[in-house]
Structure 1
């Protein structure tokens, strides 16, 4: 009888005593400050419907992103739905497939058709040349994604949208506190959408926001997130309930207070991963553009099966056996998910190639330098023994 690969002492013994390391550990900040804000909200007896804490958070986000308006929501999926609906988008929405399912879901859920586009093989962001090929009279909007904190090609996409008279939005769920050129992400296109989910650098348990310089759009969003009720208390449109509660805003403000420290720790963690894994054949930790500001939340490892002899999914399983839980960002890509897969399936060469190589590694203030050295040692050993591990996987090791 053959032993399971995860039973083998490949990495020096059992990992039962180790603390699990996950991608997206919550950044709480000063717990006492959060509780003080929450107590204040309870004493104030204004717990939702655009309360003072949510309004304060909107103001701070607008300042950081350099825009005139910010509209906070219960989550980023609702935020993207609202901005598409408020902008009157119809028909097709061009977007990358290398993104979280919420991006196409937001369009599909309100009756729009996602049109998946291939990406730049280096950045993983929308390829403007491929976008141009997909624009038709049915195109209502383009949604770019700032992937892993790296800005989409905003200038090229803005030019395309203007030439063809279509709306342009950005899914900035990965990119709070990042820049494109000398401008903060948040003010590009017609509007941008941020996520403050518990896994993000700034989190509000669940939460999102739309940032824009369009005052009319912002006013429509405020109404639509609250059942379509306008400033005169009239229901003038078919809206939804997408408001941010004061509890979430209290968490968001407290997490935002810690953002500078969190970003610096993420930067240090990323640099250590790069150093520890430098020169390992078939393994690369993606660098950041040093000329840009980044939140450094995403430590993206690219694997090359042809060099290591070890498939990315097997490396993931080995790490999980050692209580390290990386994420596949994003595999399968959206166009190959059952919800969107066509027959025959759409082929997006660069998207599919990247999606088979990416592992996002744990980082954040709760991940220690010792943790990173341990994770890196596992990856190094796995890369060095790729063919041996592949043979084990095939059941070639006798009991």
Structure 2
């Protein structure tokens, strides 16, 4: 079976070595030695100032919205994972969708201003498949209208834009370290920001609002990551370059061997060092996508329809609004299998099936 992704399992002996440290310390949670070490290693690797590791990738979005959004209207993208929109609704804010760019697949920055009202408090944009939004344009719009900028960078670990970590853009960026990501802690995530005062507020908000054992700064929830999760991160991290190179090679194989007469791939924004987090292809229509998907499934190959459906069509969003580009792309885009252990023979089989069906 070839799934769309496969969790990278580091050598078990290396993980056990980290677990032994936990047993020796007798410390499982509340920001132990391994969590602090992983934060330091990630700060150095990513060249960021402030990072807080958390137990998953959604809690950081919710905390950022709680602190920055003030229950207002949030300009956002309809083309993302459901967590982007559900976090907005969960925090009693209102999503205001702006359609996407047909090639980059990120929010169309030229359509943001017309969606702003006196109730707008923030922009929550997704770096889709690790492809950066037009961060310069979004920053100018945010400054002009006094809005906060939150980036859902769940797919963006290791991405640099203009020689700077993608996590350095916006007021806050969040990332997922879920098991399907190219760097993972099993479950996990992180929040990044540049401002020290905001960082401190984010920090106490992820730990019940604590100011020491008995005092409280203010309202908070529990977003803390465990030592067990940090142990996995510390074990995976030394293999990151190898994982990235394998995924890069797989993407190059797809790009070299697929016939692009009737399909196209995502356009990566200029000046981006991409992380090969996903490999989406876009068909001419949904019928072709479904035909290709059916034949691949029959061969025990399981790509996935990221991101389908367009989030403006979700019933509990309850918005009667059309997003024609997002809805169109969502109906005919699929992500092909991409993970470290994918063999050349498997890549060849996938390409041959797709090419034969599109002739």
Structure 2: segments with no counterpart, 5+ residues: none
Q: Secondary structure at the match of 1:311?
A: helix
Task: Give the C-alpha shift of residue 109 in structure 1.
Answer: 0.8
1:190 aligns with 2:178: no
Question: Max radius of gyration: which structure?
Answer: 1
Equivalent residues in 2 for 1:12-23, closer than 5 Å: 20-23=1-4
Q: Secondary structure at the match of 1:209?
A: strand
**1:134-177 C-alpha deviation (Å, 9 max, x unpaired):** 11110110011111111111000011111100100100011110
**1:44-78 C-alpha deviation (Å, 9 max, x unpaired):** 11111111111122222222332211011111110
Give the alignment partner of residue 380 of structure 1, picking from 347, 355, 358: 355
Q: Which residue is equivalent to 1:300?
A: 280
Task: Give the C-alpha shift of residue 223 in structure 1.
Answer: 1.3
Contact 1:171 1:192 (C-alpha < 8 Å) held by counterparts = yes
Q: Supply the distance in 1 between the matched residues of 2:258 and 2:214 (Cα, whole angstroms).
A: 58
Equivalent residues in 2 for 1:137-148, closer than 5 Å: 137-148=118-129
Task: Give the C-alpha shift of residue 28 in structure 1.
Answer: 2.4
Contact 1:278 1:284 (C-alpha < 8 Å) held by counterparts = no
Q: Supply the distance in 1 between the matched residues of 2:94 and 2:290 (Cα, whole angstroms).
A: 31
Structure 1: segments with no counterpart, 5+ residues: 1-19, 385-399
Give the alignment partner of residue 327 of structure 1, picking from 304, 323, 327: 304
Task: Give the C-alpha shift of residue 258 in structure 1.
Answer: 1.0
Q: Bigger CA drift: 288-297 or 128-137?
A: 288-297
Equivalent residues in 2 for 1:167-182, closer than 5 Å: 167-182=148-163
1:348 aligns with 2:328: no
Q: Supply the distance in 2 between the matched residues of 1:106 and 1:80 (Cα, whole angstroms).
A: 7
Equivalent residues in 2 for 1:146-157, closer than 5 Å: 146-157=127-138
Q: Secondary structure at the match of 1:98?
A: coil
Contact 1:202 1:252 (C-alpha < 8 Å) held by counterparts = yes
Q: Supply the distance in 1 between the matched residues of 2:240 and 2:58 (Cα, whole angstroms).
A: 23
Q: Which residue is equivalent to 2:35?
A: 54
Give the alignment partner of residue 336 of structure 1, picking from 291, 313, 320: 313
Q: Supply the distance in 2 between the matched residues of 1:288 and 1:134 (Cα, whole angstroms).
A: 26
Equivalenced residue count is 359
Contact 2:132 2:269 (C-alpha < 8 Å) held by counterparts = no
Task: Give the C-alpha shift of residue 222 in structure 1.
Answer: 1.9
Q: Supply the distance in 1 between the matched residues of 2:90 and 2:8 (Cα, whole angstroms).
A: 30
Q: Supply the distance in 2 between the matched residues of 1:231 and 1:218 (Cα, whole angstroms).
A: 17
Contact 1:73 1:242 (C-alpha < 8 Å) held by counterparts = yes
Q: Which residue is equivalent to 1:25?
A: 6
Task: Give the C-alpha shift of residue 383 in structure 1.
Answer: 1.5
Contact 2:161 2:271 (C-alpha < 8 Å) held by counterparts = no
Q: Supply the distance in 2 between the matched residues of 1:167 and 1:290 (Cα, whole angstroms).
A: 25
Task: Give the C-alpha shift of residue 275 in structure 1.
Answer: 1.2
Q: Supply the distance in 2 between the matched residues of 1:236 and 1:42 (Cα, whole angstroms).
A: 32
Q: Supply the distance in 2 between the matched residues of 1:226 and 1:289 (Cα, whole angstroms).
A: 36
TM-score normalized with structure 1 length: 0.86
Contact 1:28 1:254 (C-alpha < 8 Å) held by counterparts = no
1:368 aligns with 2:343: yes
Q: Secondary structure at the match of 1:198?
A: coil
Give the alignment partner of residue 83 of structure 1, picking from 27, 49, 64: 64
**1:213-240 C-alpha deviation (Å, 9 max, x unpaired):** 1112221222111111124641332211
1:110 aligns with 2:91: yes
TM-score normalized with structure 2 length: 0.96
Q: Supply the distance in 2 between the matched residues of 1:287 and 1:364 (Cα, whole angstroms).
A: 20
Query: Residues 232 and 218 (structure 1 numbering): CA distance in 2 closer, same or farther, change over 3 Å?
Result: farther
Q: Supply the distance in 1 between the matched residues of 2:142 and 2:19 (Cα, whole angstroms).
A: 43
Contact 1:75 1:208 (C-alpha < 8 Å) held by counterparts = yes
Q: Supply the distance in 2 between the matched residues of 1:316 and 1:98 (Cα, whole angstroms).
A: 21
Q: Which residue is equivalent to 1:96?
A: 77
